[in-house]
Structure 1
């Protein structure tokens, strides 16, 4: 069975942990889009791993991981991540493959990202400043460099020199300092030597794996409402984070996907700017005080709010969820009553789905149903039946709002704090 795991909110839903959990039944795990702006945290045997480019499935021995053509990859950052994981005793090099047609991120992308965000002032987007947007802009304008370009070093240097000279003019226009192309090229040439044996045509690789009946798991980065087409534009990322992105970012045909799983927290979080109808300061303070909800990539405190059923409903409509994974249920263990947003009110109208206009979304007033809390720890629970009845009712409510049954529940950071719902 080939499955896609999609974030149903604004990212940070715990996808890394759920992918790690699902990898036990997979043969191959694939990242299809995004870059090192993603941060997937997995805890195994009391050891914490934060992965930015490499799929979470790499933490399982003998599992194969792919970086798909829809990604934008900084080869230098990738090599650093590989060495960091290998330094912790995990063998990678025979289990990780990289699409030769994935585009690359360079220092000038990060500088442009930084300068653009700075120049926006109060209109800033809240980018991670990792250069992801500018790299995708180069891809769309057909001026970007791909992994396969790096492997032909002579040709790469010719193209790279021209590109850096062009980018320097733009950087200076934005108020930055020009770069020395020779200086920044050197670490990329070294990275090419490190990754050359891992580079493949991933579309052919996946076709052959599928023909052999291998179980393939697609790991999306970010979340539905950061999608470039369906998210809260312009406060979005620059790739397709929805289930369709798994197809366009990998090369596997749509009919080969058997299952779409929506991953969502038991509440809602958001990093950076943009509308957030269910945001709640008291909940944010409680979660931050307990050490939760700080970004894996930026370290920024996440904005927190109650579960948003309007977003869940729309995410399911767009992605076609067959089932749902709910994480961070234990974050609500101390709540006596838990509000759940079931619809919005906008200028006297009741909305089942969010408006596409961010201005209208900012004016939406959430309509809540209040559910009883359970006021006991769920951290040691390992089955749905052992959860407090109020927690079971809460999960059933979330599944109803998302239009798909809850099949996976997480009650803590560790790998063993996750279980299937029969």
Structure 2
């Protein structure tokens, strides 16, 4: 199968976690390359539900190595909350998890500073932590583990945070001395799992092992290619996998995109195909569209083919996985946005500024629904004809094959299209 990147192609929450969990059994290492605990992957395994925010979803597969790459930012408190939950579920986290010594550490000052932002962020301090990284004043895991210098370096950083917070009239609510003691204790718990993960990954690939790169958020939240400034603070597109792990682009063999059969967005920012009426509310209800990290209701709307054409280009997708097809089962007609217009002008490129995207008028084609329960379908050929026609239409509009479809949270509610590139990667349906 080679080394594969899995990433979101919309605004996140597409179901990447389930796909990573399904595919992880075929790989030796699962590596996450960007973001922090602002992204949640939800995996349902029979009667158990796991919400993973920092640790790659592949940790749920016994014997697999899960890597937190150098491109991530880590809140040690959040990390160990997650580790403790997984350990309580019988998962050998200490044996399976490796943490990059070059990943940046998130501190209470970062969380306090994010309170001033009003663009729909999760307020977990991710953006300010990346600001410190770009400003070359941040502290990394290696700094946290250096017991001789950590206290001094953290005090310097905390003074800078204090100055900024007071400038924004924000009163710091943490003690530098108490935070230092807590983080030094967490450093010792973390130490056995820390490694030079770029070296680990490259050696593994050299030795014939296969790596699955797990993306968080999605391309339209990418710092460079998304709907700026309503984006995340890292590179959530395929290029970020290489930067965020230290693995060269020439060692990537396939790129798989994940998209919902409709589309959702959390927080602020433009959303051309948003459905603000009863149909959008029904999509939210049927799809349980509430953030796995924040619990915030997601904005819901119709599949946006121009957006997928753009993210397909940016990532050079090999194949596309469509999730939550069953959420559309009740509809007698399903709108799909096929073009963007501004006045009489037909757009052939994604607007660079959010105001530009806010002004577009989506043009829709309505496809017939199937009004049949697809959640129990276990063969591609047994999908309703109208459902297969819907998937064919999306494929033709986007220009990337639909190689896999998901109709529910369970592992066996996933079908691989016969003859697809997805199948040729050596994968089979899980029914």
**TM (normalized to structure 1)?**
0.97
| C-alpha distance in structure 2 between counterparts of 1:55 and 1:264, whole Å | 19
Match of 1:320 in 2: 316
Give the deviation of 1:289 after TM superposition: 2.8
Match of 2:356 in 1: 360
Residue from 258, 262, 272 that aligns with 1:263: 258
4+ residue segments displaced more than 3 Å: none
| C-alpha distance in structure 2 between counterparts of 1:317 and 1:220, whole Å | 17
Match of 1:105 in 2: 106
- Pair 1:401-2:397 in alignment: yes
- Mapped contact 2:6–2:212 kept (Cα < 8 A): yes
Match of 2:14 in 1: 13
| C-alpha distance in structure 1 between counterparts of 2:180 and 2:331, whole Å | 53
Match of 2:26 in 1: 25
Match of 1:306 in 2: 302
- Mark the runs of 5 or more structure 1 residues left unpaired by the alignment: 118-123
| C-alpha distance in structure 2 between counterparts of 1:257 and 1:93, whole Å | 27
CA RMSD of aligned residues (A): 1.0
| C-alpha distance in structure 1 between counterparts of 2:247 and 2:161, whole Å | 34
Any residues of structure 2 matched to 1:334-345 within 5 Å, and which?
Answer: 334-345=330-341
Distance 1:251 1:294, change over 3 A: same
- Pair 1:418-2:380 in alignment: no
Distance 1:412 1:91, change over 3 A: same
- Mapped contact 1:46–1:414 kept (Cα < 8 A): no
- Pair 1:201-2:202 in alignment: no
Query: 1:398-421: CA deviations, max 9, x gaps?
Result: 222222111121100112211221
| C-alpha distance in structure 1 between counterparts of 2:134 and 2:393, whole Å | 41
- Mapped contact 1:227–1:239 kept (Cα < 8 A): yes
| C-alpha distance in structure 2 between counterparts of 1:220 and 1:401, whole Å | 24
Query: 1:158-182: CA deviations, max 9, x gaps?
Result: 1001111221111112122233211
Q: When the two structures are aligned, how many residues end up with a matched partner?
A: 415
Query: 1:92-148: CA deviations, max 9, x gaps?
Result: 11110000000111111000001x12xxxxxx2100001010000000000000000
Give the deviation of 1:213 after TM superposition: 1.4
| C-alpha distance in structure 2 between counterparts of 1:20 and 1:355, whole Å | 34
Any residues of structure 2 matched to 1:245-264 within 5 Å, and which?
Answer: 245-264=240-259
| C-alpha distance in structure 2 between counterparts of 1:291 and 1:382, whole Å | 20
Any residues of structure 2 matched to 1:7-406 within 5 Å, and which?
Answer: 7-114=8-115, 116-117=116-117, 124-178=118-172, 179-281=174-276, 282-290=278-286, 292-406=288-402
- Mapped contact 2:74–2:103 kept (Cα < 8 A): yes
